[in-house]
Structure 1
Amino acid sequence: MLASVGEIVVVRDGSGPEILLVHGGAGPRTTWGALAPLADRWTLAYVHRRGYPPSPPPQQRQDFEVDARDLAPLLAGRPHVVAHSYGVLGTLIAAAAAPGSVRSLTLIEPPLNYLVPDDPEVARLERIGDAALTHGMDMDPAELREFLRVAGAPIGDGPLPAGVVAGVRRAHGGRPTSEARPQLEAIRDVGVPVLVASGDHSAALERICDSLADALGGKRSVHPGAGHFVAAAPGFAEQLETFLHKSVR
């Protein structure tokens, strides 16, 4: 079922309690395809962020503050929320503004680099990630490839695939992740159940996820095997469903 909420589109499948799925730089199909079997027991609500059809393009740029405003009305039904990568930023801002409106939060490999200060690997990840947003295909080619590999893009040693180039161009000009400062204490103070998941493919992202779980008083899970696209890793769907069943408040 396709529904327009404001200017963005949400596609729902299944029946049962709602899981709101918020993708990051990759689209919903790539990010969440492995979770499709959960529709037998849950309503999967696939958010399409601005710039990802059938939602409209952003008016100016990809911006986590705009994402938060788009997500706010979707929390009215108090769903479970699962968010990935850049999509975590807007999710946390929206949840912090109304923490009682989310049943639980599952947060996968967000670029919240500020949580791990004075760490050279995290600082490098922040620098190349912001450079990819600021300069797009014009950034240093070696560093672009380094970032794309961390971000899970399907690249080899040859020319970048057309789909990857399109993704870089879509993100070009987006608001840098280094500017995000969600009010984490607002979420922790009301006791929202939180699961922070990672894929054990980047030491910097593991440390970020550890720090985020600590800041939110959340649980941690690590699922190797699918890189940045942790939702596709062996065991993740089962871990998620177990967490959701325990998160009834």
Structure 2
Amino acid sequence: MGEIVVVRDGRGPEVLLVHGGAGPRTTWGALAPLADRWTLAHVHRRGYPPSPPPRHGQDFEVDALDLAPLLVGRPHVVAHSYGVLGALGAAASAPGGVRSLTLIEPPLTHLVPDDPEVAWLERTGDAVLTHGMDTDPAELRKFLRLAGAPVGDGPLPEDVAAGVRRAHGGRLPSEARPRLDAIRAAGVPVLVASGGHAAAMERICDALAAALRGERSVHPGAGHFVAAAPGFAARLETFFLNFDETQAT
């Protein structure tokens, strides 16, 4: 299928950035100042130019295979939303290749069973991937707003509609069952971050942090795009440095 493209910027230890439904620039633009001290490796998942298109739609299992060779240098891995699913798959297969994991608002709804708001998030997210632009309009708009898309009351902006079409037919996030036990057993340092904008997402992130025995942080101000929230970049760098200092001693 051809290899995915990774664009690197900066100097210092590598930070592998894995975006979700939005592209790298939208997801990680606010982290650009970190390039003074870190090599920011921007992954372009399949379907996001200049990487090749996916063969059968977005697929977190394919993402995991794409990411696996990128762990050779043992980077810090930072992943967002749907991109977390592939990052966890790759990390579970080779936990020794991951220096640390930062996981931002993943759709791991199975971690919080019997919660009505989490169940809605799962049901609607699956509907958007299954039906695309034919999803119930009210549900689609509600989901897109939660996902951080700039959606008003009029027609969907063309870039938002293009994102829905790109996601259409992808592997459903509700099918993901990453091997969290393998990551936990390997002692990989984990930070789970959220934006404090949706109760369902906060519960998922709480459950994920507990399952991985990781640190937990909340950064309001940018909705689903937590990397752009005030204070997030500093928190991320502190997490990296604390871990590096621990390893040094």
How far off its partner does 1:158 sit? 1.0
What TM-score does the superposition give when structure 2 sets the normalisation length?
A: 0.97
Amino acid at match of 2:151: I
Name the SS for the 1:246 alignment partner.
Answer: helix
Residue 172 of structure 1, aligned match among 168, 173, 185 = 168
| Structure 2 counterpart of 1:55 | 51
**How many Å separate the matches in 1 of 2:212 and 2:242?**
17
Q: Which runs of 4+ in 1 moved over 3 A?
A: none
Name the SS for the 2:34 alignment partner.
Answer: helix
Amino acid at match of 1:240: L
Amino acid at match of 2:57: R
Residue 200 of structure 1, aligned match among 196, 201, 223 = 196
Name the SS for the 1:226 alignment partner.
Answer: coil
| Structure 1 counterpart of 2:236 | 240
Matching of residue 42 in structure 1 with residue 38 in structure 2: yes
Amino acid at match of 2:222: A
| Structure 2 counterpart of 1:222 | 218
Amino acid at match of 1:205: M
Q: Gaps spanning 5+ residues in structure 1: where? A: 1-5
**How many Å separate the matches in 2 of 1:21 and 1:37?**
14
Spell out the pairing of 1:92-111 with structure 2 (5 A cutoff).
Answer: 92-111=88-107
How far off its partner does 1:19 sit? 0.2
Amino acid at match of 2:24: P
1:48-70 deviations in Å (ceiling 9; x for gaps): 00000000000111000000000
Amino acid at match of 2:63: D
1:178-221 deviations in Å (ceiling 9; x for gaps): 00000001000111000000000000000000000000000000
**How many Å separate the matches in 1 of 2:153 and 2:32?**
32
**How many Å separate the matches in 1 of 2:231 and 2:210?**
23
| Structure 2 counterpart of 1:148 | 144
**How many Å separate the matches in 2 of 1:154 and 1:18?**
31
% same residue: 82
| Structure 2 counterpart of 1:3 | none
Amino acid at match of 2:48: Y
Residue 114 of structure 2, aligned match among 94, 112, 118 = 118
Name the SS for the 2:211 alignment partner.
Answer: helix
| Structure 2 counterpart of 1:189 | 185
Matching of residue 159 in structure 1 with residue 172 in structure 2: no
Q: CA RMSD in A?
A: 0.9
How far off its partner does 1:159 sit? 0.9
**How many Å separate the matches in 2 of 1:67 and 1:139?**
25
Name the SS for the 2:243 alignment partner.
Answer: coil
Aligned length: 245
**How many Å separate the matches in 2 of 1:129 and 1:246?**
35
**How many Å separate the matches in 1 of 2:3 and 2:94?**
21
Residue 66 of structure 1, aligned match among 62, 70, 75 = 62
Matching of residue 10 in structure 1 with residue 6 in structure 2: yes
**How many Å separate the matches in 1 of 2:201 and 2:113?**
13
**How many Å separate the matches in 1 of 2:57 and 2:159?**
19
Name the SS for the 1:247 alignment partner.
Answer: helix
What TM-score does the superposition give when structure 1 sets the normalisation length?
A: 0.97
Amino acid at match of 1:239: R
**How many Å separate the matches in 2 of 1:146 and 1:181?**
26
How far off its partner does 1:17 sit? 0.2
**How many Å separate the matches in 2 of 1:119 and 1:45?**
36
